[in-house]
Structure 1
Amino acid sequence: MVYLDLFLTFLLIGFTSFGGLSMIPIINSEMLRHGWMTSAEVSDIVAIAEMTPGPLGVNSATFAGMRVAGIPGALVATFGVLVPALTTTLLAAMFLKRFKDSPLMQSVLYGIRPVSLGLVAATVVTLSQANYFTEGMVQFPSLVVGAIIAFLLFKFKLSVPKLILIAAVLGLILA
């Protein structure tokens, strides 16, 4: 039964998100709803998924499925999150050329932008709660690392792997 739950959960996640960071609030919500993980564990899964090669959604599904039900769970969750993308990609490829200049299609794409931005903002809030606050206490070392990384990102436009390495070193030093 857990395999069916994993498949349907990640199928839902795949169909109701736009990929990437927009999946995180939904993944967090579903993991908490099923009691499979805490917010802190979801935050850890997302961090690992971001550091490993591949799409965030696939990596998160794989790690979450593995955590919940081992290798079979990882396979089922990964397949569940991929089905929507495969389905929509095939449909889009069939109809994109026909509808690409349609005013309706342009309106749909225009409407998706603010929704995606809202989901990314929700991700920032959700992950900030798990990473910067523990039991109602502000984690100042985490805030310092986050501020330094944000500064380096915006000021010097460092690559993500470099920022991850710097954050890891700072975390080891400050924690």
Structure 2
Amino acid sequence: MVLLELFISFLKIGFTSFGGVSMVPLINSEMLSHGWMNAQEVSDIVAIAEMTPGPLGMNSSTFAGIRVAGIPGAIIAMLGILFPTLTIGFAAVVFFQKFRKSSIMKKMLYGIRPAGIGLVFATMFTLGLSNYMPDGAFDPVSIIIGVLIALLIWKKDTSVPKTIAIAAVMGLLLVR
């Protein structure tokens, strides 16, 4: 039963998100609504999925699937997240010429882009609360790490892998 629920959950995520960070709120919602993880665990899964080579959706589904139902859960969750992409990709190949010049498709994308940005900001807020206020009060060490990493990215144009490594070292050194 859990494997079917995992497949359906990640199938929904695959069909209703647009890849990358836009999947995070949906993954968060599914994990919390089924009671498979708490917000901190979802945050940890997303952080690990971002550090691991490969697409965020694949990595998140794999880690979440393993957490919920072991190796079979990982396989089922991956199949769930991949099925929509493969289906839509195949359909796009078949109808590519028609979609490319469609004014309806252009109008749909015009509405979808701002919604994707809104999802990213909502995710930042939700994950920010769990990371910067884990016990209901601001965690100064987390805030310092977050600000320093943001400055490295904005001012020094530091790559994502380097910032992740720096943040991990800072966490090891600053958190007891």
Shorter-chain TM-score: what band?
Answer: over 0.9
Given the alignment of the two structures, is residue 112 of structure 1 paired with residue 112 of structure 2, yes or no? Answer: yes
Give the AA of the match of 2:63. F
CA shift, 1:97, in A, is 1.6
TM-score, structure 1 length as denominator?
Answer: 0.97
Give the AA of the match of 1:127. L
CA shift, 1:137, in A, is 1.4
Q: Which residue of 2 aligns with 1:161?
A: 161
Q: Which residue of 1 aligns with 2:32?
A: 32
CA shift, 1:98, in A, is 2.0
Comparing 108-117 and 37-46, the one that deviates more = 108-117
CA shift, 1:101, in A, is 1.7
Give runs of ≥4 in structure 1 deviating > 4 Å.
none
Given the alignment of the two structures, is residue 121 of structure 1 paired with residue 121 of structure 2, yes or no? Answer: yes
Q: Which residue of 1 aligns with 2:45?
A: 45
Whole-angstrom distance in 2 between the partners of 1:95 and 1:109: 17
Whole-angstrom distance in 2 between the partners of 1:74 and 1:87: 20
Q: Which residue of 2 aligns with 1:7?
A: 7
User: Deviation string for 1:117-142 (max 9, x for gaps)?
Assistant: 01111110111011111221111101
Task: Map 1:18-167 onto structure 2 (within 5 A).
Answer: 18-167=18-167
Give the AA of the match of 1:170. M
Whole-angstrom distance in 2 between the partners of 1:137 and 1:99: 50
Which residues of structure 1 form unaligned runs of 5+? none
Q: How many residues align?
A: 175
Whole-angstrom distance in 2 between the partners of 1:26 and 1:99: 27
Give the AA of the match of 1:86. L
Whole-angstrom distance in 2 between the partners of 1:85 and 1:65: 18
Whole-angstrom distance in 2 between the partners of 1:134 and 1:71: 30
Which residues of structure 2 form unaligned runs of 5+? none
User: Deviation string for 1:133-165 (max 9, x for gaps)?
Assistant: 122111110100000111111111111001011
CA shift, 1:48, in A, is 0.5
Whole-angstrom distance in 2 between the partners of 1:103 and 1:31: 37
TM-score, structure 2 length as denominator?
Answer: 0.97
RMSD: 0.9
Give the AA of the match of 2:104. L
CA shift, 1:115, in A, is 0.9
SS in 2 for 1:134: coil
Whole-angstrom distance in 2 between the partners of 1:86 and 1:105: 19
Q: Which residue of 1 aligns with 2:171?
A: 171
User: Deviation string for 1:72-115 (max 9, x for gaps)?
Assistant: 00000010010011111111111122231221121112111101
Give the AA of the match of 1:10. F
Give the AA of the match of 1:138. F
